[in-house]
Amino acid sequence: MKKSSTFNWLLLPGLALVLIFASTAHGQMASDEGLGITGLILDETKTKGGHDFYDFFTINWRAVKGVEYTIHIAEQPDRARGSFIKISINEKQIYFQRLNPRTDAIEEAAKLAVQRTRYILVKRLFTSNELDGAP
């Protein structure tokens, strides 16, 4: 057997797992309980500014332990000027902001979005803990 065909057969199971994971992560954002997948940050940005926002967001992000979530960052084009960034946690929108094209403004907006997202997740964690401890 040729070396390249053996190598391809070895890659096939790994590729199948990647495809299964990708379709599951995209198709079941809020219902990951069965797989134990949480803490995903999905990117649906379209422009360079949107990609920069996503990059700055992920650089500044620290995972919140104890709460299950999927963060979805999407970009909505605007005919007049630029675009809008929308962030959702488990399909519930928490952030919607016009994207300024300047890199420093994009970085600042991403930092503020991280703070808001973390605040909401920590608030959910404390609320959940209070409800669990209620008589």
Each residue of 69-122: pLDDT tens digit?
Answer: 999 999 998 887 789 999 999 999 999 999 999 999 999 999 999 999 999 999
pTM of the model: 0.69
Instruction: Write down the pLDDT at residue 50.
Output: 96
pLDDT, the chain, mean: 79
Count of helix runs (H) and strand runs (E) in the chain? 3, 4
- Which candidate, 76, 92, 87, 91, places its Cα nearest to that of 114? 87
Dihedral class, residue 36 (left if φ above 0, else alpha if ψ from -120 to 50, else beta) = left
Instruction: Write down the pLDDT at residue 135.
Output: 52
- Which candidate, 132, 32, 45, 36, places its Cα nearest to that of 91? 32
Q: How far apart are CA 28 and CA 52, in angstroms?
A: 26
